[in-house]
Amino acid sequence: MNNYMNNFFENWQPNEGKKLVIDVDGIDYARLPVKTPVITSQDDIFKIVEQYALPHLREGDKVFLSERIVAITQGRAFPIKDIKPSWFARFLVKFVHKSPYGIGLGSPWTMELAIQEAGILRILFAAFVSAITKPFGIKGIFYIIAGKSVAAIDGPCHYTLPPYNEYAKLGPKNPNKVAKALKERFKYDFVIIDANDLGVSVLGKSDAKISDDFCKKVFRDNPLGQSTQQTPIAIVRKIMQER
């Protein structure tokens, strides 16, 4: 390992079970996890970036933000005690596949948020089409119809950092607009991403030229911390090898 890489690894450490560097189409990229305090609705996403990410940024870096912190700062996370599931929400949740990687719409609280976000007719139509296509091995139709904002909805899990282990949240509002506003302010590219162990969804980008395929490949192992790591930001940096 050359001196550059030795110094690099001394300054940055990946989250447990993750790699700091990943190969994307033959090029190495580092995903530098940025630690923050617990983010609340009282926080401002611009101030968070300025305080915790900006001091580490270099020319050519891209900043990947967990969609969760963007949504939280927009006031789109709610204590489940304050959500009153409708009859439709309690009925539809019975048909949701329960995943070990996140609750998704597998609770009446998150299903109620989905109904409020997309409308009951769209959710019912998505559920109907999903039901008739599922026997043919076609997956993901529900979220294609319901939309990315519904796919980003998540609820309380045992591994979620308190107090959000008792919250349900919507996806971020206008994520492309947020990413572009961040770039205008800080002059770096931003990506708002929903990543878990099932896959990666790109919700917002500061520049349409940033490839969704690249974002999914560089984040394919979900390097952001989902719990006590408290690393909802990653700086993605192309690794320059010494000659």
Q: Is the pLDDT of residue 4 over 70?
A: no
Which tokens is 47 given?
């101030």
* Whole-number Å distance between alpha carbons of 214 and 199: 13
Mean pLDDT of the 128-155 span: 89
Mean pLDDT, residues 63-84 taken together: 96
Q: What is the pLDDT of residues 146-186, one digit of tens each?
A: 988 898 898 887 777 888 889 999 999 999 999 999 999 99
Residue 102: the pLDDT is: 65
**What's the pLDDT at 183?**
98
User: Which residue type occupies 153?
Assistant: I
H helical segments located in 93-204: 108-118, 120-133, 141-146, 148-151, 175-186
Percent of the chain with pLDDT over 70: 90
What pLDDT shows up at residue 243? 35
Q: Is 3 helix (H, G, I), strand (E, B) or coil?
A: helix
- CB burial of residue 210 (10 Å; 0-12, 13-18, 19+): middle
Instruction: Sheet containing 189-196: give its strands across.
Output: 21-24, 27-34, 233-238, 62-66, 189-196, 199-205
Question: Over the stretch 14-60, which tens digit does the pLDDT of each residue have?
Answer: 888 889 999 999 999 999 999 999 999 999 999 999 999 999 999 99
**CA end-to-end distance (rounded Å), the chain:** 12
Q: Is 163 or 125 the better-scoring residue by pLDDT?
A: 125
**pLDDT of the residue at 182:** 98
Lookup: tokens for 213: 């395929």
Residue whose C-alpha is closest to residue 206's, from 234, 232, 171, 175: 175
**Do 215 and 193 touch, CB atoms closer than 8 A?**
yes
**The tokens 């984040």 sit on which residue?**
219
Nearest Cα neighbor of 196 from 165, 146, 157, 168 is 157
Q: What is the pLDDT of residue 16?
A: 84
Does the structure show a pLDDT above 60 at 242? no
> Who has greater pLDDT, 155 or 193?
193
